[in-house]
Amino acid sequence: MDFRYPAEAEAFRKEFRAWLDANLEPELAGDGLGGMSLEFGGERLERLRAWNRTLADARFAAIAWPEEWGGRGAGVMEQVVYAEEMHRAHAPGTLNPLGLSNIAPAIIEHGTHEQKADLLPRMLRGDDIWCQGFSEPNAGSDLASLRCSAILDGDSWIVNGQKTWNTLGNLANWCELLVRTDPSVSKHKGITCLLVDMTLPGVEVRPLETITGEKEFNEIFFTDVRVPVDATLGPVNEGWRVAMTTLAYERGTVAKLHLGTRSKVKRLIDEAKRTPMGDGTTASDDPVIRQHVARVYMEGELLKLISERALSAELHGRAMGPEGSIAKLLWSEAEQHIAEVATEVLGPDGLDGSWARDRVYSRALTIAGGTTQVNKNIVAQRILGLPRN
């Protein structure tokens, strides 16, 4: 492993840091979609939307996008520097985390010029909020089993079915929707991707309240929804290929996972140093707690090394390889371990506030974006060369 940040990336850091210092209002620092307790039309949402527009106007909303569509065509190192500087400044991200990194690459690669010109600028500025309608009650890890259907009727698709776990669905006015358009062929074929206006008649969003009390996820029901044929993204029945076009412009994602994890560990160490144990010592003097804190510290540092290995591969012109699955596995489990150790450090005080939220919320991380078991299968087959069964 051998890399250092190229001079252009450091020049970009200087420019972006100065811009953040000049433009990020102190009261916005630390806010964002995390916690997701945003209400449609609420004051907080509108404040974040204004910040999103400020980022977009300076072409800092989606730096990996091509310049033509308001990005900077930034390479991986600039993306990493961008994440580091946003993290350093506690700057809120945009209103479209899924839109910018997952949905836009599919539109840029497969969309018509009209679709790009119509949808991308509003997504970039946060004027529209997008959600991803992929998972269904019986199609998650095995996404290709999806059953939500669309039948052609003149110049419209008639959509019927249900999606679930839609992050931001309650705030979104657009959805990247996967539907079954040909049930007679094998399951990866016969899927089509539609760009659906969520205000169309027959679309019903039902928020799901999770154990944290937040309404981050939603079920979406489609009943005879008439979607114009020109809202089809890519060729009919090739929706699987369209859906797989994710992260094409955001390959820095793996490399930034460690930032939040390591700053949480740092916060936990500070908590341990100041939490009294009642006998004149602090939690950081307890030998068992010290071991557990040391373990999560090492998990954070290991995650950083994996990120750097991925970056090194990029800089030397090699494909990023399996680091994505390894980093996802390690990150999601580290986040759970940190929250568990926080409860040990804080005792009953850890059952309230942000550590308590992390403790329950972090359970979702080993499911979202590919479950631990599915990632382990990938590691077993593609890295260790083990047989499928």
Ligand X SMILES: Cc1cc2nc3c(=O)[nH]c(=O)nc-3n(C[C@H](O)[C@H](O)[C@H](O)COP(=O)(O)OP(=O)(O)OC[C@H]3O[C@@H](n4cnc5c(N)ncnc54)[C@H](O)[C@@H]3O)c2cc1C
Binding site for ligand X (CB under 6 A): 131-135, 140-141, 165-167, 364, 367-368, 371, 373-374, 377
Question: Residue 24 or 364: which CB sits closer to ligand X?
Answer: 364
Residue 116 C-beta: closest distance to ligand X, Å: 22
Residue 311 beta carbon to ligand X: minimum distance, rounded to whole angstroms:
26
Least distance CB 203 / ligand X (angstroms): 15
Phi and psi for 217 in degrees, rounded to 5? -105, 160
Q: How far is CA 51 from the centre of its chain?
A: 19
- Residue 188, CA distances (Å) to 181, 182, 299, 356, 374 in order: 11, 10, 37, 40, 18
Q: Please tell me the distance from the alpha carbon of residue 38 to that of residue 375, in angstroms, as a whole number.
A: 31
In the bound state with ligand X, the residue whose beta carbon lies nearer, of 96 and 181, is: 96
Q: Output 130 or 297, the one with its CB closest to ligand X.
A: 130
Q: How far is the CB of 137 from ligand X (least distance, A)?
A: 7
Strands 174-180 and 130-133: parallel
Closest residue by beta carbon to ligand X: 140
Nearer to ligand X, 36 or 315 (CB): 36
Residues catalogued as catalytic? 250
Provide the token pair at 348: 């009953």
CA distance 49 to 44: 9
Cα 54–Cα 131–Cα 26 angle in degrees, nearest 5? 30
Which of 211, 134, 179 shows the shortest CA–CA distance to 369?
Answer: 134
Nearer to ligand X, 6 or 140 (CB): 140
Q: What single-letter DSSP state applies at residue 185?
A: S
What's the N-to-C CA distance of the chain in angstroms? Answer: 33
| Min separation Cβ 367 and ligand X, Å | 4
H or E element at residue 382: none
Q: How many residues does the chain have?
A: 389
